[in-house]
Structure 1
Amino acid sequence: MVLPPFQELVDRHWRDVARVCAALAGPNDADDVAQQAWLRALRAYPELKHARNLRGWLLSIAANAATDSHRDRARRPVPVERLPDRAVSAPEPDGDLWQRVRALPERQRIALALRYGADLTHRDIAAALGCSEAMSRRLVSDGLAALRTELGTEPHEEVRP
């Protein structure tokens, strides 16, 4: 089996990787997450056993890098000038739909980002997440339902990240 040169893969799919990283990690961390995803892909590329669905393979790596970044960010201390005397409540959502998507459970968040950020089919999402096509549809549906509930919209109203 012959793999295309890695640079050809980068040239063909860098926008998709950037979109998924921006959707999952947010605009502030997207570049770092995308860079991490490309480094992981470069390291794993020589060991690939087939060249089927390289785009899906890359987007899976990007989604995993974003998930790792999300977990790391939750563990990082936040610098403050002075410690508060009492517990601080969570800030109110700012209405940014992708920020709300990033607050969803991990698999729903990834499924929505792959569906609407990278325009993948449910078959490709299922391959990226290692689940069935029906589960992919369910994750997207549940994520949209959660967003509708949070936004207070009716089920027939379209909500797209």
Structure 2
Amino acid sequence: MKPFEQLVTDHGPTVLRVCRAVLGPGPDAEDAWSEAFLSALKAYPQLPSDANHEAWLVTIAHRKAIDVVRRRARIPTPTEHLPESPSSLGLPGNDDDALRQAVAALPLKQREAVALHYLAGLPYAEAAELTGSTTDAVRRAAADGMAKLRAFYRRGQQRATEVAAPDASEGAFR
């Protein structure tokens, strides 16, 4: 089996061309090249002696370059101004002012429970921990809050304050 340094000498330019083809010229391609050879160095002792070294290295390089592309896609894009309009889906641009008002009119305990469980996706136990309450109390407050929001839409979107008037569940958190 060839020494690893010989593989770098023989196939390094090809591996760099693959990285540059996927990522373009620049430091990302060079980083992917380095990562590819680091990964290859770790796996080289287990590689069969009759393996196609160039194809093996190119495959590793291509995967490392794709990893960089995926990492780039997860980087937030800075923007000058954020949209101000509320949304029923949590996405800017969809006006649903009535729903926002209905949620805002819920009693605090219900609003917190609905937000933590339904909007943030937290289990009731975690929501209870955050609010200093019990799991059952958060479950009850969330259910009551959702019932009021459903009633709001069933009644033809009456004024949010009429539907979300305080009731016995206001003191549900202990």
TM range (shorter): 0.3 to 0.5
Q: Relative contact order, CA 8 A, sep 6+: which one is greater? A: 1
Normalization by structure 2: what TM-score? 0.44
Larger Cα-atom Rg:
2
Normalization by structure 1: what TM-score? 0.48
